[in-house]
Amino acid sequence: MAPLLISSPQNPRIKRLMSLQQRSQQRRSEHRIVVEGARELQHCINAGFTIETVFYCPTLFDIEKLQIADFETVEVTPQVYDKIAYRGSTEGVIAIVEPRFMSLSDIDLGDDPLIVVLEGVEKPGNIGAVLRSADAAQATAVVVCDPLTDLYNPNLIRSSLGAIFTVPCVACSSLECIKFLKENNIKILTAQLQDSELYYHTPMRGATAIVMGTESTGLTQVWREAATAHIRIPMRGELDSLNVSVSAAILLFEAVRQRE
């Protein structure tokens, strides 16, 4: 059977798709998210997420490239795709997907886990970039404490290039995370300027959590007090901080270097 063809942006299915893209409340109420892009969608599929519907523009994307079966396909015209595309540069495919939400107890710690903890980080693009670094470093998980954004925000999915589907990611409170780390004997390294050692002088072998806050306010006192050690990245210029995603990459790959 040929896929349904939609040629009007006013079609109810297109309106629903756009509402899911733009409104976190809609995503929560329907328990659905929107994934755009061939790479991102394939990572989502590979991770075993349930795909509800795939919207695609055949002049931009070959639906046969998706390695999946048993999903509904809806063909849209280029004009409709221009309307629904979240990206500036389009790839021709967008899907409605059923999300999965992990808890701390779902994390498979294995041997010598390496966990990234973000406290109060608001910008989806920053969290997405941290997830990319976490994937590259094969981190065990990313934990977002006291989240100020939806973990399945379309911009977060886009900036992660699909790493939100490849790296276990949990949202919880700081107190819940601290309790979990201590119960599992995971040392807590907090990135902060005050009372800290240079990061490359700090052992990162063994079970380790690297904890970072926002550029503007840093970490709250609860994390400073819970820390096993305080670490810092040397700042040789006039500024006193790096973007959190840059800091995460530096610290993660120091842990990787020490573990090789």
**Rounded CA gap, 167 and 105, in Å?**
15
As a whole number, mean pLDDT of residues 59-88 equals 86
Give the relative orientation of helices 244-259 and 124-136 as an angle to the nearest 10 degrees: 10
Q: Write out the DSSP string of 119-133.
A: ES---HHHHHHHHHH
pLDDT for the residue numbered 12: 97
Evaluate if residue 89 carries a pLDDT over 70: no
Superfamily of domain 104-259: SPOUT methyltransferase, trefoil knot domain (3.40.1280.10)
Q: What is the DSSP letter of 194?
A: T
Torsion, CA 154, CA 157, CA 161, CA 163, rounded to 10: -170
* Angle (nearest 5°) at CA 204 between 198 and 205: 155
4-98, which class in CATH? Answer: alpha beta
Quick one: what percent of the chain has pLDDT higher than 70? 97
User: What are 124-156's pLDDT values in tens digits?
Assistant: 999 999 999 999 999 999 999 998 889 999 999
Do the beta carbons of residue 245 and residue 213 sit within 8 Å?
no
Residue predicted with more confidence, 11 or 241:
11
Helices (H) and strands (E) in the chain, counts: 10, 12
Evaluate if residue 1 carries a pLDDT over 60: no
pLDDT band at 71 (very low <50, low <70, confident <90, very high): confident
pLDDT for the residue numbered 242: 87
Domain coordinates in residue numbering, the chain: 4-98, 104-259
Evaluate if residue 217 carries a pLDDT over 80: no
Predicted TM-score (pTM) of this structure: 0.93
User: What are 156-189's pLDDT values in tens digits?
Assistant: 999 999 999 999 999 999 999 999 999 999 999 9
Evaluate if residue 206 carries a pLDDT over 60: yes
Residue predicted with more confidence, 91 or 230:
230
Of 135, 141, 118, the residue nearest 215 (C-alpha): 118
